[in-house]
Structure 1
């Protein structure tokens, strides 16, 4: 074993931010396994081109022989598992893909990691970790005044995506309690920041508002999320990997609960300030309320007391600073945006929003300035 780590999904949004951050902060090798599906983008890692510390392998986490060969060849001290189907709307259309990747893929990694760990001895066996990156959506939904999710909150997933991640969490727990595999699980709140695929709320709103397109807001827009800047999340994962207690779960939140409509109006105001366009006018006027998606959870909130007390982690970015950084990043990286807006992506947006923006669209309302 050496100082290398194996990262799955390291060309995706959170994964690529983590890989870049790891190389900068730790400087030890990363073996990056990613299938490069719609949300995986090798361009996210362009700054690492030619860097021998980054070894990219295109492949599927469900491919057991491939995973086994990577563990045997590189002898990593840890496996950090980001790879997942993660968009709730897509899970409503193609739940089978989520089961395959999130459940069977995690099972494949656990089985191969367990066999690899069983062959280790001494310090190398004690040092190895399997870190599973999960979501707060496994806990279900909260009412307005309910306490935030803690690590002991009962699981109650409400979408195929959340159910698939809950299943993977349970598999990780089982491999620890049955065979002693030294696992760690993190359940994070909604991430935002550079390299996020444009179908997610924040980048979708930034890009639509920039181009003067409708800003589709589900339902009444009052669904609440706890927003976590991706850089803070990467720091939390590093801390959990280095100092977390095997078998434990750590909730990671941004302490930034915001209603979706407030996120959208903030983006509108920032773009009006940073990229005014007289032809478009005030971008709040682009907001269009659309039919809510089925089973839309009302509120998520994270209690991050455990990771703060045990590992001294806390988010450094407030939402106001993080969202400004994010809007600026997209404005400065429109070439990246254009590259990821493939025909397949455009077809997906059309499929998901066209009907909602058409005959079923609620009357557009202009919000107060």
Structure 2
């Protein structure tokens, strides 16, 4: 819940106020009560000083559920670097929104959204950045109201004409836009996107390579029909892989997939036991299947549990724990 919306009220200042005096005594009491009942405090639409005060007062994470970065595009509804850092220090998240006038000169495109995401991630880290379209399904009515009664809105809302909004289906292309690689507007690879703990590509590729290795060894160890041709020499080389060598391969893959290193190493260790007698080898295979399954599920678990980690509060040394109540 927001303590204020664009303009000052009894709780605090709004982002469109010329002067933001911050949270009032009532506003501070409101934030404390929200903490007590499990409500998430949101700073979007609030003034900068009010947002900073919220981060100071709150014992729980504060979020900017639908705001963009002012350093990328200067608009009163966007937040400053200081606001973003203090939000992250509480364990909160900034939701980059798909509203054209907040992203750029009425630029509701994926490229514009990615520019803000990249900047925010570089500033506070990927764990504190999300996406929020802020898409109004009555946007035609809203734009008609802007045109009919421009005096009711500040110039920063009307100067570009009808406001462009990114439609929700555009979110389907955000993942591809964020994957490492060159784009017209962001030539630098995004290493944070490649090594995310929830990245199915890295998790799947690491465990997939190990599974292929295990399958090749088991294929070579099967009973051979003397009438059949000998297997290729490379399979014999695989059979000579000792547990230590397999473990080393796991370490190499873990280095590439640092976020999932423990599971990758564990999988490699279980594969290394494939040289055991047949009965124990079957048990080893069962263990590997279990580890592989956990490896595929772990990133989701890391993502879900990551929000409950207690993080230090930069201003007061307090800690914040993410509420399970939806904002």
TM-score, normalization by structure 2: 0.29
More strand by share: 1
**Larger RCO (alpha carbons 8 Å, 6+ apart):** 1
TM-score, normalization by structure 1: 0.26
User: Over alpha carbons, which structure has the higher Rg?
Assistant: 2
